[in-house]
Structure 1
Amino acid sequence: MTVEQTSTGTALVGAELERTCTQFLYREAELLDESDYSGWFGTCLSEDLEYLIPIRTTRERSAGISEFSREAFHMKDTYASMRLRVDRLLTEHAWAEDPPSRTRRLVTNVRVRELAPDEVEVKSYLMLHRSQWDTADYDLLVAERQDVLRSEAGEWRLRRREVLLNHTVLGTANLGVFL
């Protein structure tokens, strides 16, 4: 694989690797927007998955510490707990998703950095539009996602995702959808 350095020392990956990672993110968004949770779980997630959405707090600039908690999370899941979430969404007991949300995920600003021959870090921006019922109300969530993708049997799988929400207060009643 050809990796070039920029003037800032950041490693650039080849266009083909960047394209395949971007296509993975687009396909994942499509599966989730189509409510194909079984397909998403079965084709996108690695068995050693870490899925984190830390709580964001407002801090003074001079504090010099991250706005994102390392102890409190909106979601802190593993492959096993994500399996439970997906299984529940497929039953009549997923009350937060009855009726199901209508979602559209916009994935943009994809940046790829090689970590190992079979593992990459992929940063992207996400905007999620979500509506339910027959109202004009909707939720709009914006975040940066910091993912680690691993090639398993020739296919990319999500090994780790940290979702850094722009919001300190969520304007949604629940997080019954995946980011």
Structure 2
Amino acid sequence: MTTNRAIEALDQERLPVELAWRVEQFLFREAQLLDERRFEEWLALFCEDASYEAPLRVTRERQVDSELSPTGRIFWDSKQTLGVRVQRLCSDFAWAEQPPSRTRHFVTNVRTSRADGVIRARCNLLVYRNRGEDPRADLYSADRLDELVEEGEDFRIRRRILVVDQANLTGNSLSVLL
């Protein structure tokens, strides 16, 4: 399924209320892990074959099929490349993170469904980021679609598509995990 089609719609089979609640709790816990800089625990939430992509938003005229670039990405990570990012954040070589960013991930408007054995969770994401004593903060707003697989009583992220609302990202560096 293409990125554009995956973001456009959730399939019609809604989840039972208890399962939808468990999905929400999983997403909230994941956000907390990032805010507490527990990056290795966060990485463990991904399947080994996971894909995490953030397509570029392209500003175009009306009557265009999509505002998303069919090929350009802000990033397109596998679990292995996410692992490299996490290793770097946990090392002394993350100079862009000295001092470390303070983040707050707000996950809202969670909508869930199931198709072909995969749980889909679409949500709105707002990430607040502040560093050091700087009074300014960066805000990143996005539409996010996760494909989750059940693993016992928990979930693993198989695919994540993050569509950032800004066409041009602000901030000195995007060294935090969204």
TM-score by length of 2: 0.90
Q: Which amino acid aligns with 2:105?
A: R
Deviation at 1:73, TM superposition (A): 1.0
Deviation by residue 1:55-109 (Cα, 9 ceiling, x = unmatched): 10111112x2211112111111001111111111110001111111000011000
- Structure 2 SS opposite 1:80: helix
**Structure 2: which 5+ runs fail to align?**
1-10
Residues 125 and 141 in structure 2, CA contact (< 8 A), matched pair in contact too: yes
User: Equivalences for 1:129-168 in 2 at 5 Å?
Assistant: 129-168=128-167
State the partner residue of 1:87. Answer: 87
State the partner residue of 1:10. Answer: 12
State the partner residue of 1:4. Answer: none
State the partner residue of 2:40. Answer: 38
Larger Rg: 1
State the partner residue of 1:113. Answer: 113
User: Equivalences for 1:64-75 in 2 at 5 Å?
Assistant: 64-75=64-75
Aligned length: 168
Higher relative contact order (CA 8 A, sep 6+): 2
Mapped pair 1:52 → 2:53: yes
Distance 1:85 1:167 in 2: 23
Distance 2:158 2:42 in 1: 13
TM-score by length of 1: 0.90
Task: Tell me how large the CA RMSD over aligned residues is.
Answer: 1.3
Deviation at 1:159, TM superposition (A): 0.6
The percentage of aligned residue pairs carrying the same residue is 37
Deviation at 1:10, TM superposition (A): 3.2
Distance 1:20 1:154 in 2: 9
State the partner residue of 1:3. Answer: none
Q: Which amino acid aligns with 2:79?
A: Y
Distance 1:12 1:81 in 2: 33
Mapped pair 1:23 → 2:25: yes
Distance 1:122 1:79 in 2: 19
Deviation by residue 1:24-61 (Cα, 9 ceiling, x = unmatched): 1000000000000011112x111111000111011111
Residues 52 and 76 in structure 2, CA contact (< 8 A), matched pair in contact too: yes
